[in-house]
Amino acid sequence: MQPSAAQENAGFVFARLEYPGLRDNTYIKNWYTDYPDADNHIVTLLNRLTGIRATSEKVPLAEDIYRYPFIYIVEPAQMNITSEQAALLREYLNRGGFLMLDDIHGDLDLLPVLVLLKRVLLDRDRLVELDISHPIFSSFYNIGEVLQVVNDGLAYCSSWCEQWENGPTGKDPKVFAHYDDDGHMNIILMHNNDIADGWQWLDDPNYPRQLAAFAVKMFVNSIIWTLAH
């Protein structure tokens, strides 16, 4: 199959995975969370900040995913995929693809994501927590701290509500990674974080600037890391 015109004119395609979910289109938690504003904003900034010619596409969970070196998955706890689709993601990773998993809060979200990864990775589902010394935190921007990016509702009630989701286990932001048998990092998992919300609300003057800045820097660093490795 031939690349699309957008792919031909871009040096990088931000691919958002369009997956079958546990909810229908009346519920916001699914592949389309923060879409399309988050995608449009982050691609605009990627062009502006790095010089990379970028565009965005939503990508069905089919063999076309092999075209994309980097795939973003929001709300992976909502994924409801078949064994064949799990095998497709496994082959994608085996061919050198990279997945970013975002918007995973507390044990309520993390446990089903671990079950999902077990299906995709089989016996190679071990995650490693990354500390700030990992080179991904300095691949373009120097990130000195992992912040917790929250949705706009939490951000606007910061003086009187908890700034995390899904109870006490949703409080501490962490970045996890998965490595293949050759030691190549091929998955990054944003736990207790929702960096796409930082992208979505970039143009809202009431959204905390430090959270939006971290969300952009984390994404740009991840892209640069992926393209360099």
What pLDDT does 156 receive? 85
Domains and CATH numbers, the chain: 5-228 (3.40.50.12140)
Of 39 and 2, which is predicted with more confidence?
39
Q: What gap in Å lies between CA 159 and CA 157, rounded to an integer?
A: 6
Task: Name every residue whose Cβ is closer than 8 Å to that of residue 183 and which is 6 or more positions away in sequence.
Answer: none
pLDDT digits (tens, 9 = 90+) for 89-146: 999 999 999 999 999 999 999 999 999 999 999 876 689 999 999 999 999 999 999 9
Global pTM reads: 0.92
11 pLDDT band, cuts 50/70/90, is: confident
What pLDDT does 4 receive? 47
* β-bridge mates for residue 178, sequence order: 187
Pairing outcome for strands 185-191 and 98-104: parallel
1 pLDDT band, cuts 50/70/90, is: very low
What pLDDT does 6 receive? 46
DSSP character at residue 3: P
Residue 165 reports pLDDT greater than 90: no
Of 160 and 180, which is predicted with more confidence?
180
What pLDDT does 159 receive? 67
Mean pLDDT of 44-56: 92
What pLDDT does 164 receive? 79
Look at residues 135, 18, 25, 133 and name the one whose alpha carbon lies nearest to residue 85: 18
Phi, psi of 46 (to 5 degrees): -60, -40
